Amino acid sequence: MPFSSLGFSSALLPALLQALAEKGYSAPTAIQAQAIPAILQGRDVLASAQTGSGKTAAFALPMLQQLAQTPSASGRRVRGLVLVPTRELAVQVGESLVSLAKYLPQRIKVAVVFGGVSINPQMMNLRGGADIMVATPGRLLDLIAHNALSLESVTTLVLDEADRLLDLGFGEELGRILALLPAQRQNLFFSATFPPAIEALAKSMLHNPLRVEVQAAAQTEPDITQRAIEVDAPRRTQLLRHLVQTEGWNRVLVFVATKHAAEIVADKLRKADIEAEPFHGELSQGKRQQVLQDFKLKILQVVVATDVAARGLDIAQLPVVVNYDLPRSAVDYTHRIGRTGRAGESGVAITFVTADTDAHFRLIEKRQRLSVPREQVAGFEPVETGGPSAHDPSSTGGIKGKRPSKKDKLREAAARSQPPHEEQR
Ligand code: AMP
Whether 178 and 311 share a structural domain = no
Contact 54 CB / ligand 1 (< 6 Å): yes
Q: Is 412 a member of any domain?
A: no
Q: Are residues 170 and 288 in the same domain?
A: no
Say yes or no: 137 and 230 in one domain. no
Is the same domain home to 186 and 273?
no
Listed residues 217, 240, 258: the one ending a domain: 217
Same domain, 8 and 91: yes
Does 22 share its domain with 150?
Answer: yes
Reduced to 3 states (helix: H, G, I; strand: E, B; else coil), residue 259 is helix
Residues 201, 288, single domain; the answer is: no
Is 265 a pocket residue for ligand 1 (Cβ < 6 Å)? no
Cα 343 to ligand 1 centre (Å): 6
Ligand 1 site, residue 343, Cβ cutoff 6 A: yes
Report pLDDT for 283.
84
Residue partners of 56: CB distance under 8 A and separation at least 6:
92, 93, 96, 160
Sheet holding 223-230, edge to edge: 276-279, 302-305, 252-255, 320-323, 346-353, 223-230, 374-375
- Write out the residue range of the structural domain in which residue 343 sits: 222-375
pLDDT for the residue numbered 343: 60
What is the pLDDT at residue 382?
Answer: 92
Structural domain contains residue 411: no
Indicate whether 210 and 314 sit together in one domain.
no
Residue 400, pLDDT score: 45
193 and 294 co-located in one domain: no
Coil vs helix vs strand at 230: strand
Q: Are residues 211 and 229 in the same domain?
A: no
CATH of the domain at 172: 3.40.50.300
In the prediction, which pLDDT does 79 show? 96
| Nearest protein Cα to ligand 1, atom 4 | 52
Residue 35 to residues 6, 41, 62, Cα–Cα distance (Å)? 9, 10, 9
H or E element at residue 63: helix 55-68
Q: For 171, phi and psi rounded to 5 degrees?
A: -55, -45
- Our count of domains for the chain comes to 2
Q: Residue 423 has what pLDDT?
A: 37
Q: Which of 302, 201, 197 is nearest to 242 (CA)?
A: 302
Domain boundary among 196, 217, 238: 217
Predicted model pTM:
0.61
Residue 92 Cβ contacting ligand 1 at under 6 Å:
no
Best mutation site among 1, 314, 315, 318 for ligand 1, i.e. most ligand atoms within 8 A of its Cβ? 314
Residue 197 domain-assigned (yes or no): yes
Q: Are residues 181 and 263 in the same domain?
A: no
- Span from the CA of 239 to the centroid of ligand 1 (angstroms): 33
Q: Given this model, what pLDDT does residue 215 score?
A: 57
In tens digits, the chain (425 residues) has pLDDT values of: 899 999 999 999 999 999 999 999 999 999 999 999 999 999 999 999 877 789 999 999 999 999 999 988 888 999 999 999 988 899 999 999 999 999 999 999 999 999 989 999 999 999 999 999 999 999 999 999 999 999 999 999 999 999 989 877 888 999 999 999 999 999 999 998 888 889 999 999 999 999 998 754 434 456 788 999 999 999 999 999 999 999 888 889 999 999 999 999 999 999 999 999 999 888 887 888 888 888 888 889 999 999 876 555 666 667 899 999 999 888 888 878 877 776 666 789 999 999 999 999 999 998 888 889 999 999 999 987 765 444 444 444 444 444 455 555 555 554 444 333 433 44
Q: How far apart are CA 360 and CA 260, in angstroms?
A: 22
Q: Does the beta carbon of 178 sit less than 6 angstroms from any atom of ligand 1? A: no
Same-domain status, 193 and 228:
no
Task: Specify if 402 maps to a domain.
Answer: no
